[in-house]
């Protein structure tokens, strides 16, 4: 059976939707899956045994599929879902520029996006809602990133070149995207955490992408003036090079971000910090320890778009360090 999956969205959302591939193959043994996404996400599917083809947008085809799953409510995705021919459709399309559910199972997730009270009270994980929208039983399938030998060699060379001892290596990711300005830990708290971790003989690698280039550089320089050295990834490394480095960390400290989903997809234990997004929607898979701001619900969901100094400083370095050292997940 030919099956089409549409998931564009942010990279982290694509990663946490990957479990649907394995589940589709369990339900439909003969499934030939085509996944449509954005160009920047193509690398996430390299080596994945469950997908036959990955296409990037803009995408046009006259091919007819047995089933279409559109798991995105963006206009581009919902329009595409309406245009692609399929005998059955699950997920979302648009009508009068408003997202509509193809099936009753997709209505709950859609409602959480527009109903603040439901969003606040929801206790279902993203995966539970997306599987429900797809009419597929969720059996805790997890996302997987399949690293090729070239990415593994990249990481090995990075650690060899920098002479990094990985026995007590902690990664700390400094970014969280640009949508929610209070989603990431403050630089001051990150700096305090690093200093205290270094006192306990941890090695630290600061992770970030192009958006964090100046932030990481400033942090490294400030710490260097205090005779504290840390390592940093190349902010322009590829997604899978980034994933390979993360997979070598004993633990990763990060906000609710792409890095968190990469940690889970590479089976790397993580400590996730939640400031203005709900922790309930994030599946922990036995790998993630969640640290929730005591004032999160003063901002979530109605004031998520605000920047607050109080909020980004509301989780202490000592609390994160304690959980990191005492959590055996």
pLDDT at 328: 56
Task: Return the structure tokens found at 238.
Answer: 């590829």
What b-and-e string marks burial along 260-275, b requiring 16 or more CB atoms within 10 Å of the CB? bbbbbbbebbbbbbbb
CA angle 264, 270, 276 (to 5 degrees): 95
Q: In terms of residues, how long is the chain?
A: 329
The answer to whether 71 and 5 are in contact (CB under 8 A) is: yes
Return phi, psi of residue 147, to 5°.
-80, 130
- Residue-level pLDDT, tens digit, the chain, 329 residues: 999 999 997 999 999 999 999 999 999 999 999 999 999 999 999 999 999 999 999 999 999 999 999 999 999 999 999 999 999 999 999 998 899 999 999 999 999 999 999 999 999 999 999 999 999 999 999 999 999 999 999 999 999 999 999 999 999 998 887 789 999 999 999 999 999 999 999 999 999 888 887 888 899 999 999 999 999 999 889 999 999 999 999 999 999 999 999 999 999 999 999 999 999 999 999 999 999 999 999 999 999 999 999 999 999 999 999 999 987 54
The answer to whether 207 and 172 are in contact (CB under 8 A) is: yes
For residue 72, the tally of other CB atoms under 10 A from its CB is 24
pLDDT at 44: 97
Domains of the chain: 2-133 (3.40.50.2000), 156-326 (3.40.50.2000)
């Amino acid at each position: 059976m030919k099956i089409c999956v549409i998931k564009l969205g942010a990279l982290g959302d694509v990663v946490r939707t990957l479990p649907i591939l394995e589940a589709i193959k369990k339900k439909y043994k003969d499934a030939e899956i085509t996944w449509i996404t954005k160009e920047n996400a193509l690398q996430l599917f390299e080596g994945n045994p469950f997908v036959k083809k990955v296409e990037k947008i803009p995408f046009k085809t006259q091919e007819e599929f047995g089933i279409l799953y559109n798991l995105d409510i963006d206009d581009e995705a919902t329009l595409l879902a309406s245009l692609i021919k399929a005998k059955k459709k699950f997920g979302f399309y648009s009508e009068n520029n408003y997202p509509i559910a193809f099936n009753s199972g997709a209505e709950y997730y859609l409602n959480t996006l527009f109903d603040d009270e439901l969003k606040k009270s929801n206790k279902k994980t993203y995966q539970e809602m997306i599987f429900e929208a797809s009419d597929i039983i969720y059996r805790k399938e997890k996302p997987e990133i399949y690293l090729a030998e070239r990415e593994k060699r990249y990481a090995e060379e990075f650690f060899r070149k920098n002479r990094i001892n990985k026995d007590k290596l902690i990664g700390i990711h400094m970014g969280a995207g640009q949508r929610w300005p209070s989603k990431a830990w403050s630089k001051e708290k990150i700096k305090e955490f690093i200093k205290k971790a270094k006192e306990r003989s941890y090695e630290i690698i600061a992770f970030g992408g192009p958006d964090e280039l100046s932030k990481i550089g400033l942090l490294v320089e400030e710490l260097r003036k205090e005779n504290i050295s840390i390592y940093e990834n190349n902010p322009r490394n590829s997604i899978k090079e980034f994933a390979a480095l993360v997979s070598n960390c004993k633990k990763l400290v990060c906000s609710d971000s792409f890095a968190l989903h990469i940690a889970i997809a590479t089976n790397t234990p993580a400590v996730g910090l939640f400031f203005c997004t709900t922790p309930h929607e994030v599946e922990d898979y036995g790998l993630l320890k969640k640290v929730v701001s005591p004032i999160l619900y003063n901002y979530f969901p109605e004031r998520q778009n605000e920047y607050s100094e109080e909020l980004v400083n509301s989780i202490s370095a000592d609390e994160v360090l304690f959980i990191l050292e005492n959590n055996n997940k």
